Structure 1
C-alpha cells in the first residue's frame, strides 16, 4: 500500500509574514497581519522582479503571460490582464488565434478591453518613444498599500498614464522625464493627486475604447471621485485639520485642467484655481517645496492660460479679441525668481518645449491684449503704439530656443508657435493697416510648409493646438483647410482627446459661415445696378 504524502507547506504568503513565521491570509493588496501592524505588505513577485512599463509594454514574455484576463484570480501579483499596450494586444491576439479555446477563454475578454487595431508604424514609434526615455522604463508598478485605489483597475490606469498620458503632454522625452521625476513622488504620496491622475487616465482610456461600457463607467467614477476629493481638500484648507500641501493642490488642479481639456469642456476653472494657488503661496511654502516641480507647474499653468486668451469661440483669432490676463506677469515674475534660485546645471536639463524661454514668449499675447485695451481707451499715442508693435515683432522674430541641447522636434514645434504669433500680429494689428498684407501671406505660407512636415496623428499635436487653430482661422484655400482638418481629425485617436474634434468642428463652422457670407455679399452685389448704366428710355419706362 502506497504511503500517503505529508502536508506540503505553501509558500504563497507575503514576505512580511514569512519573516515573522506567521500564517498569511493572502489578502491583497495588504494582508490582515501587515495591516494590523502598519507595515508594508510586499508579495514575492513584486519583490523579486518588479514589473515595469517597458516590460509590460514591449516584452514578448510578458505579453504571452498576460494575454487576457485570467479565469481564476491570481494571488501572486497584480492583475494586469487588460493592459492597454499595443504590442501586448497584438501578441495576445496572435496567441488566441493559434489556440483553440472555449467561450471562457481570454480572447473574448480581451476583445472587450483591447484597443483598436493600430498600424505597425504607430506601434514601432510608440515603442521607440518609450524606450528612448530610460526613466519611464524603470518605474515599478508597486503601489503603497495605504492609498485608497480602485479595485482591480489601478494598475491598468497607472500604466496608461505612464505610457500614453505623459507622452501626449510633451514633445520629446525631456518633458516626459520631467513629468516622471516630479509627478510620481507626489502621486504616490497624496491621494488627491492620485485621483486626479486616474481621472485623466481613465478618460483617455475611455476615449480610446468608446464602445466599452466598463471603460465608460470607470471614467465617470474616477472623475466624480477626483472632484469630490478636490472639494474636500479645498474645504479643509486653512482649517488646520490636515496639511494643506499647496504643491499637491496645484498639481491636482492642473491634472483636472488637462482632464477638462481632453473632455472638450470650455470651462477653465481648474486652471484659474491653480493660478490662484501659485500666486498666493507663502514664501516659506514656495521655498520649501520641490523647486523642480514648482518651476514645472508655473510653466504648465502659463501654457494652459493661453487657451483662455480669446474672448469668443468660434471666431477668427485676432488681437481685437484677446483677453488681458493680469495674472500672466505675476506668474512670470515667480518663474523668474525660481530660475534665479536654480543652478545652471539644473536649468540646462530642462531643455524640452516647456523651458522658460518658450514660456516667456507666450507673454506676447498679454502684450497685444494690453495694447488693444490701451488703444480702446485712447491712453497711448500713435508713435508709441507703433514703437511697441515693432518691438513685439522683433521679440517674436528672435524667439528661439536658448538652450543648445534642445531637440529638433522641439525646434520644429517652436517654429510653428513663432509663425502663429506673427500671423496673430499681422492679421489684425492694433494700429489699423500698419502691417502690409504680404507679410501675413508669406508668414502663413511658411506655417503651412512647416505643418506639412508634422506626421499625421503625432502624439504631440496637443501642444500645437493653439497654432493650428490660429492658422485655421485665417485659412482661405481649400487645400490648406483640408490639411488642417486632417491633422486634427487623425490625431483624435492618438491623443484620445475630444478637444481636437471640438476645434475641428469650430473651424468648419467658421469656414461655412464665411462662405455663406461671401455668397450673400455676392448676391447683393449682383442686385446693385449702377444708375449711370441705365439708358434714359429705361428710366422713362420705369
Structure 2
C-alpha cells in the first residue's frame, strides 16, 4: 500500500441533527432554526424532525413526523420518499448516479449535488414554503410511476413518431378496420403479436396507422404517412425477393403483409388500383401457406387469414370489368377452404355472418361475364345458364343471418342479402326488358328493402366499416334524388366518424354515377365509371 494512503481507522460520523432538506440533499446543515443557512440560501423549504434522533419519545408517530418552518405537520413518507421518487424518475443526474441495492431499492452515491442543480426537488420545496395545503396534495397525487419514456426502448430503430402511430393503431385504426361482429378484434390479437416478431409487419402496421391518421386529418400531403408508405413498399419488395430466392420458406409473414397492404390502401382511399397488385401477391402466398401442415400456423390465425383474403378478394371483384377480364381472385381451392369455415357457423370481423353470400360473388361474376363479353347484343341464355341463375337466386333468398349475432350484425347481413340480389338481377341488364316490367320491379324492390335496413342502422355503428360494397351496389341503382341524398348524408357521416378513405371514395364514385343515364348505371357499370374517371378503388 502506498505510504501516502493510510487505512481509515475512525468511523465516519454523519450529522443526524440537521434539517430534513439538507439530509436529503446530502448537504451539511448549520442547524440554524427555523430556517437553516443552506435552505435560506437556496430558497428551499426547511423542515425539521419534531424530536432529536436518539431521544426517546412518546410513540412511533413522532418518529416519522416532520414540522415545517411555518409550523405545519405532515408525515415523512409523504415528503422525503415521494420527493425521492420524483428525483429518480425525472432528474437526469440522479439517474446517472442511482443504482440498485441488494434488496432491489434504489440507492444514491455519496457524490454531492451542486447547489445550482435542483431540478424538480427545489421547485417542489418552494411550493412547501410558499404554497398552501393544495400544493402538498398535488405532490401526493403526482403519477410518478407513469412517466412516458423518451425513446421507444421496446422498438429499437423506431422514433417517437412511430411510437405515436403504433398507439394510434392500437386505439383507433384497429377498431375501424374490424366491424365489431365479435368481441375479439383479430387486428389486435392476431396481427399485433405477429408484428412484434417481424420488422416487415411492424412497419406495415405503422404505415397503415399513418395512412389512417392522415386521412382523418384530411391531409393528403402528410410527409410522415408518405415516408412510412415508401419504407413499407421497399421492405415488402425485399421480402418478396427473399421468398422467391428461397431465403424465407414461410409465406405467412409475407401473406399477412400483403393483406395489410390491401387495407392500407383501404385506409388511404386507393385511387390507382394498387390493391389489386397486393391481392395477386396474396393469392399466390395463401395457396403456398395452405399447402403447409395445419400445425405450422395456429388455427385461429389461419381462419382469420382465409377470411381476410376471401373478403378482400370477393368485394374487390366488382371493380373488374367482366367484359374484358375473367380474372377470379378466389379459385376453387381457396373457395373450398373458405366454405369449411361455414361448417362452424363462422362469424368474422370482416365478413360478419355473411361469408356464404360473399362466396357467391365469383359465381355471379362468372355468369354475368359470359353474357356481356362483347358489346354486341347478348346471346340467348342456355338451359345451364338459367339453371345456374335460379340456383344462385334460391341460395340468396334462402340465406338468413345467424340468430345468435347481435342486432347490428343481423341488419348488416340483410343489407348484404339485398345487395347480392341486385348484383344478380343486374347481370341480366344486357337483355331486353320493359321499364315497368317484372325485371325492374325485382331490382327496385331489393333497393327499397336495402335502403330501409340502412335507415335502421346508425352510420356510426362499427359494422359500417364493412358496408362499402353493398352501399356501392345499392347506390349505383338509385334514381330518386331523396334516396341519393340519404345515402350521401350517410357516407359523409361514416367517413367523418371512421376516417377511412374508401368511404369517401365510394361517395365520390356514386356522385359520378348519379349523373349518368339510367341505362349506364348499376353495379356492372361501376368498373366502367372507374375507367372513365380514373377512380380505381376497392370496397374492402
TM-score by length of 2: 0.63
Equivalent residue number for residue 427 of structure 1: 426
Distance 2:326 2:406 in 1: 32
Distance 1:400 1:152 in 2: 48
Following superposition, the deviation at residue 165 of structure 1 comes to 1.4
Equivalent residue number for residue 393 of structure 1: 393
Match for residue 256 of structure 1 among 255, 258, 261: 261
Match for residue 198 of structure 2 among 177, 185, 190: 190
Equivalent residue number for residue 77 of structure 1: 148
Distance 1:301 1:20 in 2: 54
Distance 2:519 2:394 in 1: 38
Equivalent residue number for residue 360 of structure 1: 356
Match for residue 250 of structure 2 among 226, 245, 249: 245
SS in 1 for 2:149: coil
| Alignment of 1:152 onto 2:152 | no
Distance 1:490 1:305 in 2: 26
Distance 1:270 1:151 in 2: 27
Using a 3 Å threshold, how does the CA distance of structure 1 residues 260 and 322 change in structure 2: closer, same or farther?
same
Alignment of 1:50-129 (within 5 A): 76-78=147-149
Using a 3 Å threshold, how does the CA distance of structure 1 residues 517 and 460 change in structure 2: closer, same or farther?
closer
SS in 2 for 1:406: coil
Equivalent residue number for residue 33 of structure 1: none
Following superposition, the deviation at residue 155 of structure 1 comes to 3.4
Following superposition, the deviation at residue 246 of structure 1 comes to 1.7
| Alignment of 1:230 onto 2:236 | yes
Match for residue 516 of structure 2 among 504, 510, 513: 513
Distance 1:264 1:296 in 2: 23
Distance 1:454 1:229 in 2: 40
Distance 1:230 1:186 in 2: 15
Distance 1:263 1:453 in 2: 28
Distance 2:189 2:206 in 1: 18
Deviations 1:357-415 (A, max 9, x none): 6223212221122223444689996222212111111111122234x432111111111
Equivalent residue number for residue 171 of structure 1: 179
Indicate conservation of the 8 Å contact 1:207/1:496, yes or no.
Answer: yes
Cα RMSD (Å):
4.0
Indicate conservation of the 8 Å contact 2:408/2:463, yes or no.
Answer: no
Deviations 1:419-460 (A, max 9, x none): 001011222327835863222221111111111122234443
Deviations 1:240-281 (A, max 9, x none): 54x443222111111111111222222221122112200123
Indicate conservation of the 8 Å contact 2:179/2:352, yes or no.
Answer: no
Using a 3 Å threshold, how does the CA distance of structure 1 residues 466 and 337 change in structure 2: closer, same or farther?
closer
Distance 1:480 1:287 in 2: 51
SS in 2 for 1:513: coil
Larger radius of gyration: 2
Indicate conservation of the 8 Å contact 1:195/1:226, yes or no.
Answer: yes
Equivalent residue number for residue 209 of structure 1: 217
Equivalent residue number for residue 525 of structure 2: none
Using a 3 Å threshold, how does the CA distance of structure 1 residues 327 and 379 change in structure 2: closer, same or farther?
farther
Alignment of 1:132-151 (within 5 A): 145=154, 147-151=155-159
Alignment of 1:428-447 (within 5 A): 428-429=427-428, 432=431, 436-447=439-450
Alignment of 1:474-485 (within 5 A): 474-485=477-488
Using a 3 Å threshold, how does the CA distance of structure 1 residues 398 and 175 change in structure 2: closer, same or farther?
farther
Equivalent residue number for residue 273 of structure 1: 281
TM-score by length of 1: 0.63
Distance 1:330 1:250 in 2: 17
Following superposition, the deviation at residue 150 of structure 1 comes to 2.8
Unaligned runs of 5+ in 1: 25-60, 67-73, 81-142, 314-318, 341-346, 519-542
Following superposition, the deviation at residue 158 of structure 1 comes to 2.0
Distance 2:494 2:250 in 1: 36
Of structures 1 and 2, the one scoring higher in RCO (CA 8 A, sep 6+) is 2
Using a 3 Å threshold, how does the CA distance of structure 1 residues 329 and 227 change in structure 2: closer, same or farther?
same
Between Structure 1 and Structure 2, the one with more helix by share is 1
Indicate conservation of the 8 Å contact 2:479/2:518, yes or no.
Answer: no
Unaligned runs of 5+ in 2: 1-16, 27-83, 90-94, 107-137, 522-540
Distance 1:184 1:367 in 2: 34
What number of residue pairs does the alignment pair up? 394
Using a 3 Å threshold, how does the CA distance of structure 1 residues 466 and 418 change in structure 2: closer, same or farther?
same
Following superposition, the deviation at residue 323 of structure 1 comes to 4.7
Using a 3 Å threshold, how does the CA distance of structure 1 residues 504 and 376 change in structure 2: closer, same or farther?
closer
Using a 3 Å threshold, how does the CA distance of structure 1 residues 190 and 476 change in structure 2: closer, same or farther?
same
